[in-house]
Each structure stands twice: as C-alpha cells, then as structure tokens.
Amino acid sequence: MTRRQPDRNLALDLARVTEAAALASARWLGLGNKEDGDEAAVDAMRISFQAMDINGRVVIGEGEKDKAPMLYNGEPVGSGVGPRMDIAVDPVEGTRLLAHGRPNAISVVAMTPEGSMYSPGPAFYMNKLVVPPEAEGMVDINEPVEKILQKVAQAKNKEVKDLVVFVLDKERHKVLIADIRAAGARIQLHTDGDVAGALMAVIPGTGIDIMMGTGGTPEGVLAAVAVRVLGGEMQAKLDPQSDMEKKRVLEAGRDINKVLKMNDLVDSDDVFFAATGITDGTFLKGVDFTGKGAKTFSLVMRGLTGTVRNVESRHRFDKLMRVSSIKYD
C-alpha cells in the first residue's frame, strides 16, 4: 500500500471559523431576533475565512431562501493561496432555535476538493433519509415508510416500536408523521435543525435512530459530508415546495425523481467538517460565556483519515479582541 506523509488537517482551521460564528451569534440567544444573530455569525465567519490558506469558493450558501444575511453562492473565501476547495456554510443552523433559546442551534462548515460537492442550483429543498451505519446499504428512500423502518429496526436489532425518528415539525410532513405513527415508531419533532438531526441519526447515544423528511438543500449537502465521515447512509431527492421553485429546478435541468446517493452529494473522501454548538444540544453544548471570555464545544472531522474530534476551547476576550476585528463582547 502506498503511504503518504500526513498533511495539514484543514478541519481544525474550519473549527476556528465555526467557533467565531458561534461566539458572535450566541450573544443573540433568546432575544427573538434571528436576522441579527445570523448576520453576526455571517460576518464573523467571513472574516475568519480570510486567515485560511485555501482558494475556496462557496458552493452552498444561505440567504436567498429566507432572505437572511448570506455568504453568497460563488463568493471566494480564504487567502487565495492553497488548494482549490468547495465550501458549504450554515453560519447559524437553526436561526429560530437561536432566537428563541431552544436546543441544537449550531454553526457548520463543510469543505471538499473543487468539483466534488453537489450544487443544487435553484433547488431550495430536498427530501432526506439518513440511517445509521448498521443499516447502510439496506434502505431505499422510495420505499414505503413502514418498510424503511422495518429494515432499520432489523439492522439495529430492535423492534420498530423501539425506534425514534427525527422529523421537522412542518405542515408538509403531516402524511409522513402519520405513516411513522401507523408503523409503530416514535417521533421527535423539531422546529429546525436537520443537520443536527442527520448527525444524531448516525452518532450513537443520541436517542435518534433515523432522520426522515424534507428540509433545506444546503443543510442536506452539509449533512452528507458529515455522514460520509461518520458512517451510515444518506439518500435525498429534490423536493420543490412551490410551483416557482419547481419551474426553476426543471429549467436548470435537474431531475426531481433522481435518488441522490452519497457519491452524488459528495464525490470525495478528502473532506472536512466542523460544527460548533451555539445553544445547548443533544451532541454539542452551546457557547458558555464566563464573564471574561467563553467556552465553545465543537465536532471536527477529517474524511481522509476518518478522524473525529470533540474539541473544547477556552477563549479570553481580552487577548482575542487585540488580534481580531470580530466583536465578541
């Protein structure tokens, strides 16, 4: 086997980016203003990217879907010197969670070699299925809900009634929720945060066995990078939520009937992922302000080595503010 010398783990650099966004946005926790919290995270993330030696381009940004502040699609990030990388960002995944002080708001960035990250174009929404490593290769998103649940239960050596399914609490999921209940499984309904839901489905001990339902395409691609590293399986289908979105998706030549599998969503193992908790959550604690600084908690992954790190960081604002133009206090 050909061996290569270890090179720089860019995921650790990404953690600095998500930490900055989390620290900046956490000041808005529970204040009821999701736009200002999101804008603080976007500004901090954009500044932090400048310190990374990459020639990056935002392929998956946020903003157009919900008129939020945004790192726009096509925006260059990084110093411009270094590897050419595709970037997916969600400065605040769960802006409503942050605004209302609810669990599982996180800041997320994923990065892959140029050309290896799925670009959904005008598609804002996709239907997603995420299952844990035990059920990898056993499921099909086109199958009836009951059959999918039976296969996951079998893979996990459980009964269907033992399963807990993560579903976004949206009107569009009325039939899905009814089908899950009819099959006998249990449900956790969340108002937002399906990147967190996908991670919970593949990380042991979170209380979630599977994620199902339609959410944002940016969140879908971000989740796919993490699932590729952690193990498990993700499948998706574009699922326009309006006639105008459907028209634009079809005009862009996208097939809404195609099942997007892992290699369609992320076509490389040389991927990087970082997420930092903003509010306390199931698998990541939120920002803990200490009076003179803060503590942050991050999940950092490198696909090439399969390394997953839980990083606890302590930040001193008196020192940090001397070298940073980001307002943390």
Distance of CA 4 to the CA centre of its chain: 30
Q: How far apart are CA 118 and CA 317, in angstroms?
A: 38
DSSP-based three-state secondary structure for 230 = helix
Pair 172, 304 in one domain: no
Q: How large is the average pLDDT for residues 120-126?
A: 91
Inform me whether the pLDDT recorded for 68 exceeds 50.
Answer: no
Which domain, by its residues, includes 241?
A: 125-265
95 known ligand binder:
yes
Pair 282, 195 in one domain: no
Domain with 31 in it: what CATH number? 3.30.540.10
258 known ligand binder:
no
Domain limit, last residue, from 247, 265, 283: 265
90 known ligand binder:
yes
Predicted TM-score (pTM) of this structure: 0.92
56 within domain boundaries: yes
Please indicate whether residue 120 or residue 98 has the higher confidence score (pLDDT).
Answer: 98
328 known ligand binder:
no
Q: Among residues 93, 316, 87, which one has the least CA distance to residue 219? A: 93
245 known ligand binder:
no
For residue 176 the two structure tokens come to 């899905």
CB 128 within 8 A of CB 122: no
Write out pLDDT tens, residues 206-260: 999 999 999 999 899 999 999 999 999 999 999 999 999 999 999 999 999 999 9
291 known ligand binder:
no
193 known ligand binder:
yes
Pair 105, 42 in one domain: yes
* Domain count along the chain: 2
Residue 281 confidence class, pLDDT cut points 50, 70, 90: very high
Write out pLDDT tens, residues 19-52: 999 999 999 999 999 899 999 999 999 999 998 9
1 within domain boundaries: no
172 known ligand binder:
yes
Write out pLDDT tens, residues 283-323: 899 999 998 999 999 999 999 999 999 999 999 988 887 76
94 known ligand binder:
yes
User: Can you list the alpha helix ranges (DSSP code H) found in 50-166?
Assistant: 95-99, 145-155
93 known ligand binder:
yes
Residue at 222: amino acid letter: L
CB 236 within 8 A of CB 222: no
Q: How far apart are CA 104 and CA 195, in angstroms?
A: 10
Q: Supply the mean pLDDT for the chain.
A: 92
Q: How far apart are CA 245 and CA 262, in angstroms?
A: 24
Give, as one character, the DSSP assignment of residue 259.
P
Give, as one character, the DSSP assignment of residue 135.
G
8 known ligand binder:
no
Pair 261, 274 in one domain: no
The pLDDT assigned to 1 comes to 47
The pLDDT assigned to 73 comes to 83
115 known ligand binder:
no
Q: What is the dihedral of CA 246, 117, 67, 25, to 10 degrees?
A: 150
Residue 329 confidence class, pLDDT cut points 50, 70, 90: low
136 known ligand binder:
no
Q: How large is the average pLDDT for residues 64-90?
A: 81
Q: How far is CA 281 from CA 192, 206, 275, in A?
A: 12, 10, 12
Burial classification of residue 74, based on how many CB atoms lie within 10 Å of its CB (0-12 exposed, 13-18 middle, 19 or more buried)? exposed
For residue 157 the two structure tokens come to 């050596």
171 known ligand binder:
yes
The pLDDT assigned to 69 comes to 56
Q: How far apart are CA 186 and CA 92, in angstroms?
A: 28
Write out pLDDT tens, residues 128-172: 999 999 999 999 999 999 999 999 999 999 999 999 999 999 999
